[in-house]
Structures are given as structure tokens and as C-alpha cells.
Structure 1
Amino acid sequence: MTKLIKWFVTVVLTIIAFNVNAADSDILLGPGDVLRISVFEQPDLSLEVRVSESGTITYPLIGEVKVGGETPAAAERKIASMLESGGFLKNPHVNIIVAQLQSQQVSVLGQINRPGRYPIEGLRTLADVLATAGGLAPDAGDFITLIRTQDGSTSRQVIDLPKMLRAGDLSENVNIAAGDIIYVEKYPKFYIYGEVQRASQYRLEQNMTVLQALSIGGGLSPRGTERDVKIKRRNVKGVIEVLSAKHDDIVQPDDVIYVRESLF
């Protein structure tokens, strides 16, 4: 991914992240969430409480309340109804603030500016989460792996982010769910040495040809020849093979390109 494309990707991710429908902002409460609950004009009923593993809290006067799987607004209505039906208050106004959101989180790993675990508040897409995590790091590659476990089954999806954004096809900008793992791959490399101007390792772009790789290496030295370029490549068995390279051959990750010296 070139610097220009990386800048474009970061800008687009940021724009997408801010275009979230306010109607989708409600979250579902779950184990580990910390709630600050208050009742209008009833300071004795204000408290901070953590949702238990069973999805319940214990609240003054009414005891155990099941809030797991509820939105904060629904939990407010449930507590208010229990206070009123129990004869404790008339028409109580309950307010819940989520102080810590622990139950609905996604892990963002790999080549990202701020890797870590982030809360999923309402509907969030892949681009939203990447932007929240600070966008792609300088050594990020093109591909993002999404690992998801549902009903005891784990799936893996690989997404070509620059391709998705260049084409304007956001079908792979999938909605992210709690427990998902997003891994940003590191860019692949190739190596070039021998009779070239700048022998080194370089970032491998998609569908790069041998001729393009030679150009990135500054071209041939005065003693180099294009007639005998070799590629050292590890096969599926882990064995290094030496291949004769043509100009339009596609370079693969970790290829080592060797330019021989001209004999004439």
C-alpha cells in the first residue's frame, strides 16, 4: 500500500466512523458492565454497580434485577416499574449511565496505531472500529483478517481494504460484533541483491512484476544483466528453489531476487 493510498484509507475510515446513525447508539448490557443508577429526587437510591456474570444487579428495595441483554433505556423502565409496582415510589424517573462497558468489546491487533480492546456501542462497522483504534500503522498491509466465533463455530474472513475502498463497494465493511478479533496484517516484503543500484528489502505491492521490482531497486548496475535474473523462493515444503525469472513474472512474498553480473 503506497503512502498516498494509506493516507486515503485513513481519511475514509475516519469519515465513515463519524457517520453512525444515532438510532443505533443503544448498547446491550452484559456481564462486567458498570452502571451508575440514579432516581430523580431520591439520592439514597443512587449507586454504582457492576453487572454480574448472570446478567443481574442488586438494587435497593427491589433486590435482584435482570439487566443483561437489555438496553440502558429498557433497564431504566424495568427498575422504575419494579419500584412502582412494589409500592416504594410513584412514577419514579430512573436514569442509567454506563460507566464502563466491559461486555461488548472487540480486539484490534496487528499493525494498528492503537491496538487493544474497544467497546462496541450500538452498530459499528469494520471501518468504524479501525478508525477508533487510530487507523492503520505505517507498516500495515492491504489485508485485514476478521475472526468471529458464533454458536461455538469460529470463522475467518480476509478483507482487502484498499480494494474495497477504491471500488467504493462497502459490502465487506461488515458489522462488528462483541468478541470479534480484527487483525491487520503487516505488509509483505521481497529482497533484491546482486548487480542493482539499491540492494535491500522492499515492500511488496500486489501483482508486482519482476521488472517493477528491479525498478524499485534502482535498476541494474553498469555490470548487471537482465538475461540471467534468478528468484530464490521457498516452496510449500519449506525448501528453497532457484528459479529463472522473466520480466512479467509475479513476485511473491519473501522472494529473493538476484541479478547476476554480465559476462560480456
Structure 2
Amino acid sequence: MITQNTFAAQWFSTSLLLLSLTLPLPAFAQQTVSAVSQPVEEVKRVLDPSEYTLGSGDRLRIDIFQAKDYSGEYSVVADGTVTLPLIGNTKVKGLTIAQTTNLISRKYAEYLKVPVVTVILSKPRPLKIAISGEIDRPGSYEVALKEDLQYPSVSDLMELAGGVTTTADVRQVQIRRVISGKNQVLTANLWDFIQQGNQEEDLTLQDGDSIYVPTVDQIDVTETPMLASANFGIQPVDSLNVAVVGEVYRPGTHKIEARRDTENARPELPRLSEAITQAGGIKPLADIRNVEVRRLTRTGTQQVISVNLWELLQSGDTNKDVVLQKGDTIIIPKAEKLETSEVGTLSAASFAPKTIRVNVIGEVKKPGALDVPPNTPLNNAILAAGGFDMERADHQTVDLIRLNPDGTVIKQKIRIDLSKDISDANNPVLRNEDVIVVERSRQTAASDGLQTILKPIGSFFSIFRFFGF
């Protein structure tokens, strides 16, 4: 025969069992601690349902056996209390479900002979979590639990906050948490999570947690593509402003628009070469081996990323084409000396000017300034100017006048053969602002009067005098 006390005890045990089955299960298994600010016996990186503590916004289902009038749904209000029939306001903030069950049972024992109380968390409150450091949108966030009642992870909140910046140290993300009344710091290595898929590093968050994403000591540009591929990593933007100064044709602040392969595709991350192109391209004496990208971190310090774009041209490794961040300053220094053998490679680079300007004057059919592609050979420029004036031009030689970046001027006499391929001797590659002078033939010069002799290139005499030719 089962007495009332025996039945009550069995019902209470059954209620606790149902309670443990009703509460949400953790997302991941128990994890170990990478680093803590103070030693603790054991710190769980996932939330055990039995350890859930109540707070403002939680909704509870409270059932009292054989007392339907006192049973129902109750919310924990701002002061951390629930208002219950008979016993009134009861403070439950900071208590676990089991502690709340015991407290309500004791209070109802003053009115009921054997109160059997069951408390279930029917709707947990949104988690309040703060995030700061190298994150796109730092601040405080309210995060509702997922439909399956699993708690959000560190990567979930980082994604919600817009992803990390390019200077984030994802190997040492800190989660600051109060555990047993003590402030503790957990450390998550999300790089290991990205590389190895180690979910133990993607910690489950609790209400009141604070996440800090520190600044990396030195940016490794080869890791940027991997960071960009993560859902919580570097996120593309539609446009950003950067400053480009030094040896470019249009120094200043430039707006870099995002590129898309298709209309609905994810925007590509803006890169260094795009900014240099936007700034008009590099000048002839640009030192692309020692380009600097200066970047402000969230801590207010400045990081300098040294970039060797010559290696990018030689290897084709796009990882060396640095991903830009809003507010970057790009400095293109001036080279002391430029190797002649490198001119052609630089002219063909994506960040070189789209066209160069050369002047063809004298005995051609259409003398004047021409805009031609980089690496255009001399023969092509003559043909673009209409070709030789067959009756008056010297078909054998032309003068090539070049203003060097260091301010010096050279004049070179070139023997012309329009059938020749590119060569320094007969058909050199032209540079920006080169001048080609096509002289008269000896017969034409002898038959012309002085006025006629001076007329075709008279406008260019001032340049000759300036150069000392």
C-alpha cells in the first residue's frame, strides 16, 4: 500500500527526472580550459542545464500537485522575483531550477500539508553578452536561444557583430565569465577551429559573458583568405575609403568599390592593387618592393604592413596582395634607382597606368601627343601617328628623347626598321612622356628654305633648349 508520504516522495523524484529531461541539452561536450585568470577546480565550457541560473525575463511553468489554482506560467520580472498565489513575491534571481523548486516548496509548506512542486523553464530569457576589441561592430547584444534551446557559441556572436577585423588575433579570443562568484577568463583558439574544425574551441556562451578579441602583434597576410572564408571572419563591404600617397599619379583619398563576379555574388575583399590602380597607377620611379600599408587597430595603435609587390608580380601569389581595411593609408616610396630590366614588368602590372602618353613630332602624317598602352614599342607609336611623311621624312633614323624620373634627360638616335620586333637598339619599348622626333631627309632639308626648315618642329625648339640639345 502506498501512503500519501510515499506517493509524494515518488512524485517528487519523478518530477525532478522530468525536469532534467525538459531542460536544454548543451551544444558540445565538456571542454577543458586553455587559460584562466584565477585557478578553479573545474570550469565547464558548455552549460549544464542543472547550472542554469534564473534572471529577469525567464518564463517558468510552476505546477503544484492537486492545487491547480496555484499552478500556471509565471515570468521573472525586473527585480528578479515571481509573484505566486498565497506566497506573493518570491526572489528567484541567481537560483538554479532545483534551488527554486526547494524554495517554493518551503514557502507553500506553510499553507499546504505536503506541497509537491514542479518547476520547468518554459522560455529562457535572451542572453546579454558584450563583445569588444578587433570586431566590426563591438557592443552589447541580446541573443535569443536557438529553437532547439542550444546556446550560442563564440563564433555565433562574432558573426552577429559583423565579423573580425584584419588585425584580430583569433588564436587568443578571451571570454570573461563569473564562475562561482569569481571572475574568470577562458581562452579560445578559433584559428584551430578554422583550420582543424576543433569545435571544442568554439565555446558555448552564457548570460553575462564578455568577449574580447585582441590585436595580433603582426599581421600575417597569408592567413587573410582563411579568415575571410569563416562565417565570423573578415566580412566584405560594398565600399571603403583609403588614402594612397607617394609615387602614384593621383595621390589622396580614394573610394574602393567592391567587385562581384555576378550580380548576387558575395563581394570580393578590396585589395592593395585595386587602390593603387584607383590612384592612377604607379609612377616610373615607384619602389614597389617597399610598399607600406599603415593601419589603425581598435586599441589606437598603428600597425605597418610591409609589402613587396615585386614578388607578387614575379610569383603571381595573390596572398601578397594585401586585403584592405577602412581607413588604411598606403605609402608608395620613391626608388633611388630603377633597374631597366624591370620596366617592362612594372608597366604590365595591374596597378600600372592603363595608358601612357608619348609625343611623335616632325615628319609624320599626324604629329602630336598619343595615348598608347604601356610597353608600346617605338615602331607602333610612329604607325599610330600615321607613319612617315614619305616625301619629307628621314626613314633611316629618329631621335628618342626621354625624361628620367631623377630629372635627367637622355637623347638616343634610333636606326629604324619597321619590320623589327622589340629591341633596345632598333625598336625600344616606350615610357610615359617619351618624345620621338622624326627629322627631314637630307634632300628635303637642302631644298627647303630656312622658314620651312624651322616650321615643322619649331614648337618643340623650346624643349630642346631646356634640355640643352
CA contact (8 A) 1:57 1:64 kept: yes
Could you say which residue in structure 2 is the equivalent of 1:88? 112
Shift of 1:88: 1.5
| Residue type of the alignment partner of 2:153 | T
Residues 1:28 and 2:52 are matched in the alignment: yes
Q: Superposed, which structure 2 residues align to 1:130-169 within 5 Å?
A: 130=158, 133=160, 137=162, 140-142=164-166, 143=168, 146=174, 148=176, 150=178, 161=190, 164-169=193-198
TM-superposed deviation, 1:20: 1.6
User: What CA deviation, in whole Å up to 9, does each residue of 1:116-156 have, x standing for no partner?
Assistant: 2226777653134446x3xx63x742536546265676869
Would the alpha carbon gap of residues 101 and 255 (structure 1) be closer, same or farther in structure 2, given more than 3 Å must change?
same
- Asked if structure 2 preserves the Cα contact closer than 8 Å seen for 1:38 and 1:46, the reply is yes
Using the TM superposition, give the Cα deviation of residue 65 of structure 1 relative to its aligned residue in structure 2, in angstroms: 4.6
- Structure of greater Rg: 2
Please name the residue that 2:284 is paired with.
224
Equivalent position to 1:111, from 105, 115, 136: 136
Compute the displacement of 1:232 (Å).
Answer: 7.7
Contact persistence 1:59–1:65 (CA under 8 A): yes
Tell me: higher relative CO, structure 1 or 2? Use CA pairs within 8 A at least 6 residues apart: 1
Letter in 1 for 2:27: V
1:125 corresponds to: 153
- For normalisation by structure 1, the TM-score amounts to 0.52
- Residue 224 of structure 1 aligns to a residue whose secondary structure is coil
1:257 to 312, 324, 331: 331
Matched residue SS, 2:194: helix
1:50 equivalenced with 2:57 (yes/no): no
SS in 1 for 2:69: strand
SS of residue matched to 1:43: helix
Match of 1:182 in 2: 211
Q: Structure 1 pair 140/189, CA: closer, same or farther in 2 (3 Å)?
A: farther
From 248, 267, 274, the counterpart of 1:195: 248
The structure carrying a bigger helix percent of its residues is: 2
Deviation at 1:114, TM superposition (A): 11
Q: Secondary structure at the match of 1:256?
A: strand
Gaps of 5+ in 1: 1-17, 204-211
Matched with 1:75 is 100
Query: What amino acid does structure 2 have at the position aligned with 1:20?
Result: A
Letter of the structure 2 residue corresponding to residue 127 of structure 1? S
Aligned length: 228
Alpha carbons 1:34, 1:49 under 8 Å: kept? yes
Residue identity over aligned pairs, in percent, reads 16
1:170-215 Cα shifts (integer Å, max 9, x gaps): 4542343432233679969964454379994679xxxxxxxx8447
Alignment CA distance shift 1:42-1:233 (3 Å): closer
Q: CA deviation at 1:165?
A: 0.7
Q: Larger % of strand: which?
A: 1
Distance 1:86 1:200, change over 3 A: same
Q: Aligned partners of 2:77, 2:255: CA distance in 1, in Å?
A: 52
Matched, 1:101 2:101: no
Is the 2:55–2:94 contact (alpha carbons within 8 Å) kept by the matching residues of 1? no
* 1:36 and 1:47 in contact (8 A); partners too: yes
Q: Provide the C-alpha distance between the structure 2 equivalents of 1:217 and 1:160, rounded to a whole number of angstroms.
A: 35
Any conservation in 2 of the 1:29–1:69 contact (CA below 8 Å)? Answer: yes
Residues 196 and 224 in structure 1, CA contact (< 8 A), matched pair in contact too: no
Unaligned runs of 5+ in 2: 1-24, 30-46, 215-232, 235-239, 258-270, 312-319, 336-403, 406-430, 432-469
